[in-house]
A = this chain, B = another copy of it.
Amino acid sequence: MNAQNGHHNMLRINADRLLADLDRLRCFGAQSTGVVRPAFSDADMQARYWLREQFEQAGLRSLIDGLGNVLGFSRNPGKAILMGSHADSQSTGGWLDGAMGVIYALEVARCLSESAAHRHLAVDIVAFQDEESRFVGCLGSRSLTGSLDHPTVQNAVDKDGVRLVDALNHAGLSGTPREQLDLGRYLGFLEAHIEQGPTLEAHAMRIGVVTDIVGVRGLKVVFKGQQNHAGTTMMALRRDASTSLYEFAYRINQCFAAHAAPRSVWTMGRVKLIPNASSIIPGYAELDLQFRDADEAQLERFASLAHEVRELMTQSSGVDIEIVEARAPIKPSRMSEALYQHLEQSAQEHVPDAWMHLPSGAFHDAGIMAAFMPSAMLFIPSIKGISHDFAEDSHRDDLVLGCQVMASAVASMFGRQ
């Protein structure tokens, strides 16, 4: 135990209250062991009204803005820290995911307000909307930082064809103003999240301090050939879109593997063939190629390689291949070392040598926030690395530990224990 650890008024979270609130939030949209709480669903909106009530009871000035973000502002003057995560889930999601970071923020704000030594500190908290991309990935944090344009909101449609503007209307938010944060108010942004991968568990670590959030590029590769009868069209006369797709995907896997950085990942998880029938030569095919890395130069290298493979194949096949962007590129974000050193110190204090640095392979609201203020993230272990699945879970003692590490780090960021 180091010298700092014995401080008599060290901030202590209320573990029972934390776990009870996590369990309560889990009830909104509960299904099996997971939650079904996509952005703007009835369950999501009910959760948000409940959160606003909790934020208010914690002594914060609370509101739901015109895009569904739940905000709780401290009434204290001076520089503030913003904490939070997102409360929406995947269409079939786990119970922790973003919800955990929201309840951590609530618990930390509450426990600061209950401590005579800390109640003057300004901590604002937030439950962002639609981080999970039902309509627009990180919709809430983009809007709060002023980086969401009007046409994006007007044109957004979910995978079932529902328009965002109609979902807003259904949720009763059409007349509600959209907030923007006073960016000058903040020392930084702090987000806790489950790891969603197996790294912490594999290393027997209990806390992860995030150094980077990887960037993501998504390309859609379109193959245009000629649909024909699979029995009567000789091989030499075919312009088979599927044949080109298989070759392209195979070559990408070979070529990316040869040029990958240690933590580069790439995935071709979506295919569409038209008409997708065993007796018909497909005339049209689509392939999604997504790749991620913490280094923008590596992302650029992969993008160039994809175009090189396309060039190579265009010379030999009778199929036209086009590569278009499937999503707006997300640049890698560096977390703020000045900020995350407080997480390191706090973790070292609570679980000496049982924490590690790691990059985040998944994207998070902190990746948006980092462009506007120093940002930092803390991870706790995901059991078996599972997430975006009803089976997602974390150990209760890790849930409690993570929140305590956050609370101590926040006090430390303000120059307090």
Contacts and interface: CB of A to CB of B under 8 A. Distances in A.
A409 B224 CA distance: 44
B269 A273 contact: yes
Interface string A251-279: 00100010010011111111101011111
B214 A231 contact: yes
Contact of A278 (B232, B243, B245, B288): B288
Interface in A187-232: 195-199, 214, 216, 218, 228-232
B235 A246 contact: no
A354 interface: no
B265 A269 contact: no
Nearest to A241: B269
Contact of A271 (B234, B276, B385): B276
A196 to B, nearest CB: 5
Interface string A364-375: 000000000000
A198 B237 contact: yes
Contacts of A290: 230, 278-279
A271 B284 CA distance: 13
Interface residues of A, number: 57
Contacts of A257: 235
Contacts of A232: 195-199, 360-362, 385, 387
Nearest to A263: B234
A246 B243 contact: no
Contact of A242 (B214, B268, B361): B268
Contacts of A326: 278
Contacts of A234: 197, 263, 265, 361
A253 B246 contact: yes
A55 interface: no
B231 A361 contact: yes
Given A230-B290, A247-B253, 15 more contacts: A196-B231, A196-B232, A198-B233, A214-B231, A229-B385, A229-B387, A233-B361, A235-B260, A242-B268, A242-B271, A245-B246, A269-B277, A269-B279, A270-B273, A278-B326
8 contacts: A197-B233, A228-B385, A230-B267, A231-B362, A231-B363, A242-B271, A269-B279, A270-B276
